């Protein structure tokens, strides 16, 4: 009896296998690879407690807003062309309406190395000559003639270049820079980089400018905040801004009590170091960045460089700042920045 049961079971199994083999199974076709999209664009906006550029406030230590739009064309997966426009609210001595940035370049990538080469134009429309009426023979305030050099090198003979509350500034501070950057991704957590910017006429001072820096970033592992979707990073930068000699507009015929000068044909603008370090938190398209920034510029040299309209007398004499006024625009600052950054091919899908 047991033998009969075993035989029946074996026949049933064999019969089932044969039927299964005879069934016509439809093959599942693999999904096609995602199509290569040559065109993309990025855009975003930000609000920050202070707009700091290379260690120096551009908003008089007041809040600033910013926005940008950047069309991109991917030649292939490793080479991208881009052209962008950005805007930031500022508070300049010449009372320019805003900073408008127009930039473009190419971003080639080779393995762990991501390069960026381009040209950046900084436009400051709506400005007028600051304190031009105080310059002897300066002409009509706000016109190009008002920015001509005076017999005193645009310096009051008593204060040595600092009329009443401070400084002179040209109607137009617009300039452009060529730049080269590289970012090296060591692994999922660590990145290092370097930047180089050069302008033949930095901030329209008449002086060349060269800025170089090194950067670093650590990104926390994705599991740090669990499944919340929150990310975190720590980043920093150390840079140096080299500057040449200004034109005669910013010159002075007055010698500093500390020695140095006079500089009737233009002052040697102060080169300086700057650094920043901060922590950031990301969630979807949003980033909250909390950062500390500083420079090694003295208040006197900062005043001579920035033409700070809030400058106050404080015995801040330097060889290029004979009036003794000082500026806090170049000192330590804390910045909180909330930004949103999107791309059409990823964020909007």
Residue 11 domain-assigned (yes or no): no
Judged against a pLDDT cut of 50, whether residue 9 lies above it is answered with no
Residue 13 domain-assigned (yes or no): no
Residue 86 domain-assigned (yes or no): no
In the chain, what's the furthest Cα-to-Cα distance? 127
* pLDDT for 149: 42
pLDDT digits (tens, 9 = 90+) for 213-224: 999 999 999 989
Structure tokens at 3: 């033998």
pLDDT digits (tens, 9 = 90+) for 77-87: 999 999 999 99
* pLDDT for 27: 54
Residue 230 domain-assigned (yes or no): yes
Share of the chain above pLDDT 70, in %: 79
pLDDT digits (tens, 9 = 90+) for 252-308: 888 888 887 799 999 999 999 999 999 999 999 999 999 999 999 999 999 999 999
Residue 203 domain-assigned (yes or no): yes
Q: Which of 5-14, 52-61, 70-79 is least confident? A: 5-14
Judged against a pLDDT cut of 80, whether residue 133 lies above it is answered with no
Sign of the CA dihedral running 185, 187, 189, 190: negative
Q: Which residues does 339 contact at the CB level (< 8 Å), separation at least 6?
A: 44, 45, 46, 47, 66, 286, 287, 289
Q: Which of 131-145, 167-181, 270-284, 286-300 is least confident? A: 131-145
Q: Name the pTM for this structure.
A: 0.83
Count how many domains the chain has: 1
- Neighbouring-strand partners of residue 234: 218, 279
Q: Which domain holds residue 274?
A: 109-118+129-338
Mean pLDDT of the chain: 85
How far apart, in whole angstroms, are the C-alpha atoms of residue 3 and residue 26? 39
DSSP code string of 227-261: TS-EEEEEEEEEEEEEE-B--GGG-BSSPPTTS--
Residue 19 domain-assigned (yes or no): no
* pLDDT for 323: 86
- CB burial string 134-146: b at 16+ within 10 A, e below: ebeebbebeeeeb
Confidence of residue 151 (pLDDT cuts 50, 70, 90): very low
Q: What is the DSSP letter of 124?
A: -
Residue 50 domain-assigned (yes or no): no
Element (H, E) at 8: helix 2-22
How far apart, in whole angstroms, are the C-alpha atoms of residue 349 and residue 342? 11
Task: Please report where in the chains the tokens 């007055």 appear, as a residue.
Answer: 254
Q: Which of 187-201, 228-242, 309-323 is least confident? A: 309-323
Q: Say what the alpha-carbon torsion angle 308, 260, 296, 298 is, to the nearest 10 degrees.
A: -50
* pLDDT for 17: 44
Residue 71 domain-assigned (yes or no): no
């Amino acid at each position: 009896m047991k033998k009969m049961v075993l035989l029946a079971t074996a026949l049933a199994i064999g019969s089932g296998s044969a039927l299964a083999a005879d069934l016509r199974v439809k093959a599942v076709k693999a999904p096609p690879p995602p199509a290569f999209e040559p065109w993309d664009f990025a855009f975003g906006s930000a609000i920050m407690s202070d707009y700091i550029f290379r260690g120096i406030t551009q908003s008089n230590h007041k809040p600033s807003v910013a926005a940008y739009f950047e069309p991109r064309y991917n030649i292939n997966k490793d080479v991208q062309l881009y052209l962008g426009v950005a805007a930031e609210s500022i508070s300049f001595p010449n009372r320019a309406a805003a900073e408008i940035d127009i930039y473009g370049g190419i971003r080639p990538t080779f393995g762990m190395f991501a390069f960026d080469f381009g040209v950046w134009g900084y436009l400051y429309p709506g400005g007028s000559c600051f304190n031009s009426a105080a310059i002897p023979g300066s002409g009509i305030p706000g016109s190009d003639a008002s920015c001509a050099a005076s017999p005193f090198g645009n310096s009051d003979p008593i204060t040595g270049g600092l009329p009443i509350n401070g400084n002179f500034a040209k109607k137009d501070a617009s300039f452009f820079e060529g730049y080269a950057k590289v970012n090296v991704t060591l692994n999922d957590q660590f990145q290092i980089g370097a930047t180089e910017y050069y302008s033949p006429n930095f901030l329209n001072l008449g002086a060349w400018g060269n800025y170089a820096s090194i950067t670093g970033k650590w990104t926390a592992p994705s599991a740090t905040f669990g499944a919340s979707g929150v990310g975190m990073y720590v980043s920093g930068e150390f840079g140096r801004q080299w500057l040449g000699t200004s034109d005669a507009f910013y010159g002075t015929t007055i010698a500093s009590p500390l020695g140095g000068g006079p500089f009737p044909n233009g002052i040697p603008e102060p080169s300086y170091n700057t650094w920043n370090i901060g922590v950031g938190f990301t969630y979807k398209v949003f980033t909250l960045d909390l950062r500390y920034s500083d420079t090694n510029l003295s208040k006197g040299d900062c005043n001579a460089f920035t033409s700070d309209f809030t400058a106050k007398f404080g015995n801040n004499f330097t060889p290029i700042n004979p009036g003794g006024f000082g500026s806090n625009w170049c000192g330590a600052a804390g910045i909180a920045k909330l930004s949103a950054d999107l791309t059409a091919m990823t964020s909007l899908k």
